[in-house]
């Protein structure tokens, strides 16, 4: 069974501003893309003084029909060659995101489709990483 994967990238200021109004979800989530957008809006990366540019963390978990995290989330990837302190800061930020942002409000159809299936979220902290401009 394949896991759904989201890429949460470039969210520094956007996520910080959006998180202030969380959980102001007006409508129920009806697609996987809606779920990814909800996590993008809720993600708060570690403070810049504790951050590492380019840091990546992937966490896998399941939802129940009500949009709650089912079981224990597992970290399946953390950028190698980082200190234990940096690793812990990012794991804490991801764990805080999961606890703060859930339960999500699923439509019955999405809740039935996602319940019990593996779901993976990939967080990439690209604040401070120079982006290549298309010319």
**Residue predicted with more confidence, 120 or 131:** 120
Question: What mean pLDDT, rounded, does the chain reach?
Answer: 82
pLDDT, position 134: 62
At residue 131, the pLDDT reads 63
43 Cβ partners below 8 Å, 6+ apart?
Answer: 8, 11, 15, 19, 93, 97, 101, 123
Spell out the CATH class of 4-125. Answer: alpha beta
Indicate whether 117 pLDDT > 90: yes
On whether the pTM is more than 0.85, the answer is: no
CA-based nearest residue to 95, from 51, 48, 39, 49: 39
C-alpha distance across the termini of the chain, in Å: 40
Residue 5, pLDDT > 50, answer no
The number of beta carbons lying within 10 Å of the beta carbon of residue 114 is 22
Check whether 128 has a pLDDT greater than 80: no
pLDDT tens per residue across span 27-86: 799 999 999 999 999 999 999 899 898 999 999 999 999 999 999 999 999 999 999 999
Averaged pLDDT, 100-109 = 96
């Amino acid at each position: 069974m394949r896991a759904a994967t989201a890429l949460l990238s470039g969210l520094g200021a956007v996520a910080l501003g959006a998180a202030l109004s969380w959980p102001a979800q007006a409508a129920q989530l009806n697609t996987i893309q809606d779920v990814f957008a909800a996590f993008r809006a809720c993600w708060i990366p570690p403070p810049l003084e504790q951050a590492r540019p380019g840091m990546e963390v992937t966490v896998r978990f399941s939802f129940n029909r009500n949009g709650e995290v089912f079981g224990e989330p597992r970290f399946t990837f953390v950028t190698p060659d980082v200190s234990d302190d940096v690793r812990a800061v990012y794991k804490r930020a991801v764990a805080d995101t999961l606890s703060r942002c859930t339960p999500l409000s699923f439509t019955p159809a999405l809740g039935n489709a996602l319940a019990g299936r593996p779901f993976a979220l990939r967080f990439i902290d690209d604040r401070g990483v120079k982006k290549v401009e298309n010319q």
